[in-house]
Amino acid sequence: HIPRRSGIPSDINLTCTFGLVLGVYEKEGEDGGFHLTEAAAGFDSSLSGKLSEMLKISGPTPKKGKSRMFYGIHKDFPCVAVVGLGTNTAGVCGAENWDTCKENIREAMSAGCRQLQDLEVSRVEVDSCGDAQSAAEGAVLGLFQYDQLKSKKKTKVTTLLHGSGDLAGWEKGVLYGEGQNLARLLMEAPANHITPSVFADTIEEKLAPHTDRVTVHKRSAWIEEQQMGAFLSVSKGSEEPPVFLELHYKGCPDQTQAPLLLVGKGITFDSGGISLKPSSGMDAMRADMGGAATVCASIVTAAALKLPINIIGLAPLCENMPSGKANKPGDVVRAKNGKTIQVDNTDAEGRLILADALCYAHSFKPRAIVNAATLTGAMDVALGSAATGVFTNSDWLWEQLQKASVVTGDRVWRMPLFQHYTRQVTDSQLADLNNIGKYSRSGGACTAAAFLKEFVTATHWAHLDIAGVMANKDEIPYLRKGMSGRPTRTLVEFAAGLAQQG
């Protein structure tokens, strides 16, 4: 039963749990004019124009992302949300580096579904608005709420496609959205609930339906055998044992095809170690494994989509904690490739665990290596939440990532890899490398990328610094406040694009 809300006529029975979300466009240059989507026009026709009539008398046409509720106008749908899509002339915007039409659809369908969820409607049909995939993504992403540990939970809503035959596009969008929501779930959960072992177990469980194409390795003693001294030096400060999670997705019929290598930073809690972080905001460091979360979630999604491509995912998982066994400023550790690293700041630990993972990644002779990490606060300062910073040695790889981001609306921005930054990390007093810039804190994101580049010999490599996009306040309208799970959908779309290339 849907509770009575103010503004709902008392003679309307809301015992039905069905709702409907429809889209409406504003007519350019025509004050108050509107244009219904194909599905909305069909619904209006079935009511002999009643929906159009009520839209005209109920006020101005809803602006982009704003909704208007109608009650009791259809026997099957007691609650109908009509949501603004902006103008019908929107498309790919070069200045914004995304497809505005797709973004407007995601925002609108998210807003409508949330409003119906607030009315405790448990089954919602969604207008495709001419792009079933984007509509599904908006609905699935917009309804996500991390309330696993709360007594009072949001109504669970089942979404269905309305008025369109593009079921394949809808199902694809659902999988894209669920993939990002998996990353959000992992990132949002408290660090005492998502330890390295629990993280690995969760991903293994999610991949269980795809065991015919996926192999999961959860490695522990193996880490020392591989001489991953940089990774182990970070993990030894914690009571939680480290895990090196290795995922093999074999989706290509040609098993000789070189794999795409995805590497994710997996610090399940980052206190900063001996170089302790300020207590204010430290709770957000439960999401410092956002790189591992997005990489693993993208492989779960690729498996669900049965993408015809081979992918290997690597996630070094551990905590960064202060203790008598932890790294101390000035300590020198040895990475898997033999390079020594002076640890001048224990809070620059992500690059240490990634160094060993990147060395190992090369053993698979990949077609490309992409690593993702919530690596530097400097990236948040540089780009904020507008885009993921991409550092790459490959123009081709950059083009593939940018192309994917335009489709998903989850933007990327290319950053410089100048030799200037390399000198900052190679001039070490005690070792081959310093884990922070030697001369200045300026350009911290670029310095971190230059450090990682010291462990890369592959022709096509990209480092995605996702620190700025880790969380969402209200910047992305179809994501609620909290951890964002970005850029999971872009990684999936990127892999799908490579799969098409063969």
Question: What does the pLDDT read at residue 502?
Answer: 80
Point out which residues pair with 280 in neighbouring strands: none
SS3 316: strand
* Residue ranges, CATH 3.40.630.10, the chain: 190-500
H helical segments located in 58-194: 100-118, 132-143, 167-188
pLDDT greater than 70 at residue 261:
yes
pLDDT digits (tens, 9 = 90+) for 439-497: 778 999 999 999 999 999 999 999 999 999 999 998 999 999 999 999 999 999 999 99
Query: What integer is the mean pLDDT of 229-256?
Result: 96
pLDDT tens track for 273-320: 999 999 999 999 999 999 999 999 999 999 999 999 999 999 999 999
User: Does the pLDDT of residue 15 top 70, yes or no?
Assistant: no
- For residue 468, which of 349, 383, 401 has the smallest C-alpha distance? 383
Q: What is the pLDDT of residue 16?
A: 54
In percent, the amount of the chain with pLDDT more than 90 equals 90
* Whole-model pTM over 0.85: yes
- The catalytic site residues sit at 277, 351
One-character DSSP codes across 243-305: EEEEEEEE--S-TTSPPEEEEE-EEEEE--TTSPPPSTTGGGGGGTTHHHHHHHHHHHHHHHH
Mean pLDDT rounded to a whole number for the chain = 94
pLDDT at 238 over 90: yes
CB proximity list for 185: less than 8 A, separation 6 or greater: 146, 148
Burial class (CB in 10 A: 0-12, 13-18, 19+), 225: exposed
Q: How confident is the model at residue 3 (pLDDT cuts 50, 70, 90)?
A: very low
Q: Is the pLDDT score of 137 beyond 80?
A: yes
pLDDT band for position 224 (cuts 50, 70, 90)? very high
Residue tagged 């994501």 (tokens): 479
- Which tens digit of pLDDT belongs to each residue from 348-403? 999 999 999 999 999 999 999 999 999 999 999 999 999 999 999 999 999 999 99
State yes or no: pLDDT of 7 exceeds 70.
no
Question: Model confidence over 392-443: pLDDT tens digits?
Answer: 999 999 999 999 999 999 999 999 999 999 999 999 999 999 999 987 789 9
CATH 3.40.220.10 positions along the chain are 18-165
Q: Note the pLDDT of residue 8.
A: 46
Length of the chain: 502
pLDDT confidence of residue 28: 80
Res. 35: pLDDT tops 90:
yes
pLDDT level of residue 97 (50, 70, 90 thresholds): confident
pLDDT digits (tens, 9 = 90+) for 61-95: 999 999 999 999 999 999 999 999 999 877 888 88
Q: Does domain 18-165 have CATH number 3.40.220.10?
A: yes
pLDDT of residue 4: 37
Which residue in this structure is represented by tokens 């001294």? 229
pLDDT exceeds 50 at position 1: no
147-to-152, 346, 471 alpha-carbon distances in Å: 8, 33, 17
CATH number of 190-500: 3.40.630.10
Residue 89's pLDDT is what? 77
The dihedral built from the CA positions of residue 433, 436, 438 and 439, taken in this order, carries a sign that is: positive
Res 443: pLDDT: 93
